[in-house]
Chain A
Amino acid sequence: MQGLTPARGRRGISMSKRIGVLLLALVVACAARVPAVGQGASQAIVSIWGLPVRILGSSEAVTSYLSLLLNDSLTAVDGQGNVSGHLAEKYPASPDGKTYVITLRAAKFQDGTPVTARDVKFSYELYLHAKYPTTAPALLEIAGAQEYKAGKAASVSGITVLTPRTIRFILNRPYPYFYEQIGTAPILPEHALLNLDVARLQEAPFVRKPIGAGPYRLVEWREKESMTFEASPDYWGGVPTLKRVVLKLIPEDATVIAELRAGNIDAGRIIPEAYDSFRTDPRVRVLRMPGDTNYWFTMNMKLPFFQDPRVRQAMAYAVNRDEMLRALYRGLGTPVQSPIHPSLWQYDKQLKGYTYDPAKAKQLLAEAGWTPGTDGILQKGGQRFKVKYGFLAGKDYQNQALLIQQYLRAVGIEIDVQGIERGDFFSRYFVPGSPIELVGIAWFNLLFPPQSELEAGFKSTGSVAQISGYNSPEMDRLLDEANATRDRTKQKALYDQIQELVLRDVPRVMTVRPDVIWGVKKTLTLPGEVNSLFAFFRSIAAWQSR
């Protein structure tokens, strides 16, 4: 037995030696640099945080960004909200503002077929169909749209095909935002959607292999992995300089950072904490822009706590927005004083909002009859100022909630913070009639003109206003007037007043708008000013990759 043991040992060693050599070979082979994909052949790999689930009949933000690549519309808005004609070459409005006669330019869909007036009518009738679930309210301004949507008419009477290249829209009233809200609907090819059952829209093959009139064709869609776009040679605006774009789904922030540094992707959104280190990176530069999301918290104005506007204003003074930005976003962002996106012309640059002034906050609270108790928490008539603050579960909301808790405690208001899971939040918590107290949430500003969002938030019939109980006849009037006049100067004046009223009435305390930061390879050149996500995606066609 003894004599055999060394043999056993030898056997064991030689086996593991073989394995060892194999592993070593593997490591050495790994050390060969992975070829950095994305360079050459004018293509870019952009990492994205989510791929769309539905590209038609959807209201996801990602879908609307991708639509900028795939589709085109009669008119389009740029980053500032200014209008230009895309598929529409001539788009005059009648003097009474109710009739628009559109002349289409010679544009083609990505399958080579020309864009005709029939395609335009078809597209709008799809979006207005009774079974189309995400009809934009603005479209209902078209004459006959309501009847069509209700299933009482076979087509929309207000849309008439005049010639193969001209089409006429008639509106119910001189709606001021035809170009921004109605003209921006993507035009789809009728011949690719024949015999469509709108109730089962998502089952149509078109939805997975769309054809649009935009600068890029979708050539490949791998679910939860990537979407590949190729420049369309038929695009009326000229073939895009960037020939191929791959949108790659990378859900983890750390992975995006790592891939950027390794050169495996050409652009990716990065967390603010990584900003400084990428500023000094030899191969990657940073691109900063105001984000789409503005954070705020609202309150239940039917509660005695919040009925007095001084209390609400005090809360607005109590929040240290600069510190929030510094702490949570490395200072990369702006304090929010207006619900309108800062890149839009409606945005009031002169607005003087709430500075950080806890002394003023305390004073206002005292004026409202609240006096500090022995533990520092305010009380009035035997009741302590202690409320529940529910926030949508998520890292940003949670972090902000903790800071807001501190700020409010400093002026004597005690809040209990509680994260509420998404499903619960939207079905039971954040609905009209729900007994909320304070709610922390955020909204995306999609870059339509702000009218619809303002109405949802502040008009007494709006979805959020109904939850908070905000009801101001003055606000309603201002919003209605803004929705009725086509005079831009008058509109601006009205929006200024609206923004000012939002600050005075404080139906919500607005806090911060964090910047969106992209890491972009230095070999990738972006055109001009990119100051919003919308502008970022719109600019892709003009990117150049060395």
Chain B
Amino acid sequence: MGAYLVRRVIALVPLLLGVTGIVFALLVLAPGDPVTFLIPPEQRGQADLAEMRHQLGLDRPLPVQYASMMRDLLTGRLRAFSDRRPTIQRVTEALPATLILTATSIVVTVVLATPIAFLSALRPYSLVDHGATLFSLLGISLPTFWFGLGLIFVFTERLGVLPASGLRPAGTSGYDPLVIWPYLVMPTVVQALGILPVLVRYARSSLLDTLGQDYIRVARSKGLRERAIMLRHVARNSLIPVVTVMALLVPFLLSGSVVIETVFALPGVGQLAVNSALSRDYPTVLTTTTIAGMLVVLSNLLADIGYFYLDPRIRHG
């Protein structure tokens, strides 16, 4: 297990190099001058663009820029073009909001998906199954921002029961669950419904698989109570695909966060990525995509670890 982990971590290095390489290639090839985004048009005649460019290091040859950006990125000294703060700091400030939303969405999805998958697996091809599938398809057939804005319209504008912006009351600090949960409701619903069908399908087919397995029949024939069977064997073995699917879902959730964070004014990594791309803040773009990449890889790793522990066949195989 230890050796396995070490191997996986080592494999991270070329992966990250590749990711940063792809992003840097984009930045290098992109037309347009980042400095123009720091000055509004009316002030263009007055601002010293050459000086600004120099202060951002944009007047150096490209290979030098790449090398120094990479070095700064790895040492955490890379500074954004926009506010000259270390990009790593900007990203770590934005991470909590995104992570809270992502984690909550995963939990809610699992909570919703389990009964749906059970119902579908126990009565395959029945009306219940069809209904459940249609319901779960809802989430991946709706444009997320449309759905989110619709929810805001109903629950904030018309009913006034949920807040539509931010992750906490304005001007407060910390993320106290008791205080912030109303802010999480709508964004979580949108995110969760987006990944629900994938989880339902995996859980359902895995349940179908498990329910037909030999050892279940053996357990039944031994006279074990239904509940015990369900809990001990079926649920546990069905968790494996659920865990593996989690890893697949994290990039999807991060992708979705871009739009959700704009709609609900959440100060997360998604909107940081978008805004930095739109304003040509190359260092921030590089850092957000790299860190997002690391999050994805990390969740893959966690899924593998969970898989390892949950499936005795692997552990002792």
Q: A contacts B directly in the complex (CB < 8 Å)?
A: yes
Q: Which residues of A contact B (CB under 8 A)?
A: 4, 7-9, 11-12, 15-16, 19, 22, 26, 30-34, 37-38, 43, 45, 47, 53-54, 58-61, 131, 133-137, 199-203, 207-208, 220, 222-226, 228, 244, 246, 248-252, 254-255, 257-259, 261-265, 422-424, 426-428, 430, 441, 443-444, 446, 452-453, 456, 462-463
- Are the C-beta atoms of B83 and A446 separated by less than 8 Å? no
Bound-state Cα–Cα, A428 to B32, Å: 8
Known: A224-B94, A259-B164, A424-B31. 12 other contacts (CB 8 A): A38-B170, A53-B38, A59-B42, A131-B55, A133-B49, A222-B93, A249-B267, A252-B262, A423-B31, A423-B37, A426-B36, A446-B42
Q: Is the interface of B mostly helix, strand, loop or mixed?
A: helix
Look across to chain B and name the residue whose beta carbon is closest to the beta carbon of A443. B42
Q: Would you call A133 and B122 a contact (CB within 8 A)? A: no
A53/B153 in contact, CB under 8 A: no
A427 adjacent to B32 (CB under 8 Å) = yes
The smallest C-beta distance from B85 to any residue of chain A, in angstroms, reads 7
Bound Cα distance from A366 to B155, whole angstroms? 59
A12 and B173 within 8 A (CB) = no
Q: How far is the CA of A246 from the CA of B265 in the complex (A)?
A: 15
Contacts A8-B226, A252-B265 given; does A54 touch B55 at CB 8 Å: no
* Residue interface bits B39-53, CB-to-A below 8 A is 1, else 0: 111111111110110
Q: Which residues of B contact A202 (CB under 8 A)?
A: 83-85
Contact assessment for A135 and B46 in the assembled complex, using a CB-CB cutoff below 8 Å:
yes
Instruction: Give chain B interface residues in 80-97, CB to chain A under 8 Å.
Output: 82-85, 90, 93-94
22 CB-based A-B contacts, threshold 8 Å = A12-B115, A15-B115, A15-B118, A19-B112, A34-B163, A59-B42, A59-B43, A201-B84, A207-B83, A222-B93, A226-B166, A249-B267, A250-B265, A252-B263, A258-B157, A259-B165, A262-B157, A264-B156, A264-B165, A426-B36, A426-B44, A443-B41
Compute how far the CA of A47 lies from the CA of B171 in the bound complex, rounded to whole angstroms: 12
CA–CA, A220 and B160, complex, Å:
28
- A8 engages B122 (CB within 8 Å): yes
Q: Tell me which of A12, A222, A426 contacts B118 (CB under 8 A).
A: A12
- Which residues of A are found within 8 Å of B115, using beta-carbon distances? 12, 15-16, 19
B116 → A minimal CB distance (Å): 8
CB distance B230 to A226 under 8 Å?
no
The answer to whether B84 and A200 have CB atoms under 8 Å apart is yes
User: In the docked arrangement, what's the CA distance between A32 and B182, Å?
Assistant: 10
**CB within 8 Å for A244 and B171 given contacts A60-B40, A443-B42:** yes
Separation of A423 and B38 alpha carbons in the complex (Å): 11
Q: Please determine whether B263 and A261 come into contact, CB atoms closer than 8 angstroms.
A: no
Q: Are A423 and B267 in contact (CB under 8 A)?
A: no
In whole angstroms, how far apart are the Cα atoms of A135 and B122 in the complex?
73
Q: Is B119 among interface residues, defined by CB-CB distance under 8 A?
A: yes
- Smallest CB–CB gap between A36 and chain B, Å? 9
**Chain B positions 121-176 with a Cβ under 8 Å from a chain A Cβ:** 122, 149, 152-153, 155-157, 160-166, 169-171, 173
CA distance A350 to B17 in the complex (A): 66
Q: Which of B47, B83, B84, B170 contacts A226 (CB 8 A)?
A: B170
- Neighbour of B52 across the interface among A7, A43, A133, CB < 8 A: A133
Number of interchain pairs (Cβ within 8 Å): 201
A291 to B103, CA, bound (A): 43
B41 touches A225 (CB 8 A): no
Q: Which residues from chain B contact A456 at a C-beta distance below 8 Å?
A: 42, 45
Chain A residue numbers with a CB within 8 Å of B280 are 423
Which residues of the other chain, A, contact B8 by a CB distance below 8 angstroms? none
Residue of A nearest to B150 (CB): A254
Q: Give the residue name and chain of the A residue nearest to B30 (CB).
A: A423
Give min CB distance, A197 to chain B, whole Å.
Answer: 11
A430-B83 contact, Cβ under 8 Å, with A30-B161, A261-B157, A261-B160:
no
Within 8 A of A (CB), among B185-211: 185
Q: Which chain A residues border B250 with CB–CB below 8 Å?
A: none
B170 touches A248 (CB 8 A): yes
B33–A423 contact, CB under 8 A?
yes
Once the chains bind, are B164 and A134 in contact (CB under 8 Å)? no
A-side contacts of B164, CB under 8 Å: 255, 258-259, 262, 264
Given contacts A200-B84, A255-B264, A255-B265, contact A424 B32 (CB under 8 A): yes
Instruction: Choose one: A208, A262, A424, A463; the contact of B163 (CB below 8 Å).
Output: A262
Please list the 10 inter-chain residue pairs (A to B) with the smallest Cβ-Cβ separation, ordered nearest first.
Answer: A423-B32, A202-B84, A463-B45, A16-B115, A59-B43, A225-B267, A258-B156, A258-B157, A246-B171, A262-B160
Q: Is the CB of B51 within 8 A of A224?
A: no
* B18-32 interface with A by 8 A CB criterion: 31-32
Query: Does B271 reach chain A (CB closer than 8 Å)?
Result: yes
Residues of B within 8 A of A428 (CB): 31-32
Q: Which residues of A contact B275 (CB under 8 A)?
A: 224
Whether the Cβ atoms of A203 and B84 lie closer than 8 Å is yes
Partner pick for B226 among A4, A244, A252, A462, CB 8 A cutoff: A4
